[in-house]
Amino acid sequence: MKKKVLAAILVGMMTVSLAACGSSSDGAAASTGSATKAAEDVTGTMKGETITVGTSGLFGPFSYYDTDGTTLIGYDIDLLTDIQGILGFEIDGGIQAMDYSALTTSITEGKLDVGAAALCATDERKKVMDFSQTYCDSGQMVMVNKDNDEGITGVDDLAGKTVAVEKGTASHIYAQKNLTDATIEVHDTITTAYESLEQKKVDAVIQDGPGCAFYIKTTDQTALETVGDEFNQGQAPYAIAYNKDFKYQDEFNAALKMLKEDGTLDELYTKWCE
């Protein structure tokens, strides 16, 4: 996948959206808080402060468990660690991992100050939480089983096919709107969608580009591969989420700007998303 400059879910009935990753160069500031302070002003400005931070642990390569089953690793974990290194705050009880519904509920209700879990800065979510500048934003890819001969070379070949997607994602939304001639099989998790494709129960899977790359990279003897180019770019911008009453949004935004300017976001993308 072409290298790009770097770097869920409303309360109740609203669905998870885990969709895309890629360029941070085009991401406009999404926070509805006050203007961002200059990046050079924030080093050490939160020393002595303690905040609550959450993630999911459910979505590699952004936030997931290492092989020991207990250590959280991924792009978002490194990003939070780097921001903490700049600002100097403490995290109450460490980064808390929870499912997406609980995570977003905790942010909106003020049980968490900050969330980083490949959360998409949608207009709906901005009504109940604030967001940083986008740090990751691109499109979806088509995955196929290379042992199948279905003639699928990209998204334009999915008419008449059975396509698996993860519920509530940008891929799901895209498929509903644009793949009206395909049979859409909706899965609660992307893991079962991948399994269906491995077992040739479906013809293709649509998922965000880095998620596809991560699965292929980390799954021994997988028969899956990506085909065609990324599509549906820019529909799922990942950003850090804040409770609306979190008073250090400016500091976080400035620290994120520092990490972009010094090339750290590029390094994180190379490390986790390629």
List beta partners, residue 204. 163
Residue 94 buriedness (CB in 10 A; 0-12 / 13-18 / 19+): exposed
- CATH code of the domain made up of 140-231: 3.40.190.10
The yes/no answer on whether domain 39-136+235-273 falls in CATH 3.40.190.10 is: yes
Distance CA(261)–CA(218), nearest Å, equals 30
143 φ/ψ sector (left φ>0, alpha ψ -120 to 50, else beta): beta
166: part of which helix (H) or strand (E)?
strand 162-166
Q: 166 with 100: CB under 8 angstroms?
A: no
List beta partners, residue 115. 54, 241
Q: 64 with 175: CB under 8 angstroms?
A: no
Domain ranges of the chain: 39-136+235-273, 140-231
Residue 252 CA: distances (Å) to CA of 15, 93, 113, 121: 26, 19, 11, 16
Predicted confidence at residue 193, as pLDDT, reads: 94
Say how many C-beta atoms besides its own lie within 10 A of residue 199's C-beta. Answer: 10
For the entire predicted model, the pTM comes to 0.73
Predicted confidence at residue 170, as pLDDT, reads: 77
Q: 169 with 19: CB under 8 angstroms?
A: yes
Distance CA(75)–CA(265), nearest Å, equals 9
Q: List, run by run, the mean pLDDT of 10-residue segments along the chain (274 residues).
A: 36 35 40 46 94 91 93 97 98 93 92 93 87 88 94 96 88 92 93 95 93 91 96 84 97 96 94 84
Calculate ∠ Cα 24-116-142, nearest 5°. 60
Chain-centre distance of CA 178, in angstroms? 22
Predicted confidence at residue 57, as pLDDT, reads: 87
Distance CA(171)–CA(182), nearest Å, equals 14
Contact partners, residue 159, CB within 8 Å, separation at least 6: 179, 181, 182
Predicted confidence at residue 24, as pLDDT, reads: 41
**How many alpha carbons lie under 13 Å from residue 82 in its C-beta half-sphere?**
22
Predicted confidence at residue 40, as pLDDT, reads: 64
Q: Give the ranges where the chain is alpha helix by DSSP (H).
A: 75-87, 100-108, 123-126, 170-178, 190-198, 209-218, 249-261, 264-273
Same fold, 39-136+235-273 and 140-231: yes
